[in-house]
Amino acid sequence: MDNTTLPLHLSHVQKSSSIINRSHTLLHSTALIALIYYRIASFFLTTKPSNLSTSFSCLLVFTGELILSFIWFLGQAYRFRTVTRTVFPERLPENIELPAVDVFICTADPSKEPTLEVMNTVISAIALDYPPDKLHVYLSDDGGYSVTLEAMKEAWRFAKGYWVPFCRAYGIKTRCPEAYFLGEEGNTESSSGSEFMADRERVKEKYENFKSRVMRIRQNSIIVVNRDHTAVVEVQWQGLDGLQGPIVSGTGFYIKREALYANPIKDVDVMELKQYFGPSNEFIKSFGRHYKPKDHQHSASVTLMKETQYLASCAYENETKWGKEASPKQILPSIP
């Protein structure tokens, strides 16, 4: 059977976990109903007189129990039908048929998100085993710190000059340099000959130099504490299953471009797209499944940089349908 007709992943309902969770929900609900009945009975069915302070205290306790019970009840939806997924990467199509992938990495505060760790994430994304012309990595710094910009330049030089060629030449599976050099993979490679060991030591030395430069950048920069982001304490993935996968929450999720644009962009007039998404030709071209950016020549890079700055400006979406309709209070409508 052709791999293109086979699913890339399958969903499996964990029946035993679901039965246990539902049984627990039933027992707990029974206890809550009994407790609520007892509280109501003590208020309205008792014949013993009680003073005002005692009644008020009992009412506060009962109100708190109702609120906590309601919160608990809402949380049971995550445990009612637990699922796991099996993925089949071997069924992926050939490189020419793979879609373009955008990797967004967000950071905000170097004092809480160490710059070196963020750069390791960036390097890992750049070194992904994916067609280079279809892989785009973006680093978003909400705080706009200069340390992030300078460290990003160093990360790009190290990744392009040493790390990515090394990973491709020897099929390195751990694409994060920090994890790779601290782990055991480097000692168990199938190609652990003298040439490999020499290249490994050379890349490790370059990585140590890269770390030193990033640390110097960090030490020479002034960091103002930013409190924009709050930590995600827990995500119960097994119960948060949507129509085609888990819902978006936190970081590390995958989402199709079509989901960002609300609907598949097919057979839509170019002028209509520009009215909706703005006048950028490069942005409109990126809607295509087989879109490839221009070659990294000097003239093309300058043009693309100007286009990127234009897209990132606060005024780009002015007078566009997207700018008028996209807001936290509205849902992006379908493209007619």
CB crowding 38-51: b at 16 or more within 10 Å, else e: ebeeeeeeeeeeee
pLDDT tens string 189-206: 455 678 898 999 999 999
| CB-based burial label for 28 (10 Å; 0-12, 13-18, 19+) | middle
| Residue 313 φ/ψ, nearest 5 degrees | -70, 155
pLDDT attached to residue 54: 74
Q: Give the pLDDT band of residue 125 (cuts 50, 70, 90).
A: very high
- Compare 219 and 54 and report the one with higher pLDDT: 219
What's the rounded mean pLDDT across residues 315-320?
A: 79
| Residue 55 φ/ψ, nearest 5 degrees | -65, -40
Q: Would you say the C-alpha torsion 189, 191, 194, 195 has a positive or negative sign?
A: negative
228 among annotated binding-site residues:
no
199 among annotated binding-site residues:
no
pTM of the model: 0.60
pLDDT attached to residue 215: 92
The answer to whether 115 touches 217, Cβ cutoff 8 Å, is: yes
pLDDT attached to residue 106: 87
Instruction: Please check the confidence at residue 328 and state whether its pLDDT lies above 50.
Output: no
Looking at the chain, the whole-number percentage of residues with pLDDT higher than 90 is: 27
Please state which of the ranges 7-21, 95-109, 115-129, 292-306 shows the lowest mean pLDDT. Answer: 292-306
133 among annotated binding-site residues:
no
pLDDT attached to residue 144: 82
pLDDT tens string 246-289: 555 555 666 666 666 655 566 667 777 788 888 887 777 777 66
Instruction: Please check the confidence at residue 151 and state whether its pLDDT lies above 50.
Output: yes
Q: CA 17, 232, 257 angle in degrees (round to 5)?
A: 90
Q: How many residues does the chain have?
A: 336
Residue whose C-alpha is closest to residue 218's, from 77, 71, 116: 116
pLDDT attached to residue 70: 93
Instruction: Please check the confidence at residue 229 and state whether its pLDDT lies above 60.
Output: no
Task: List the structure tokens of 25.
Answer: 């929900």
- Compare 320 and 243 and report the one with higher pLDDT: 320
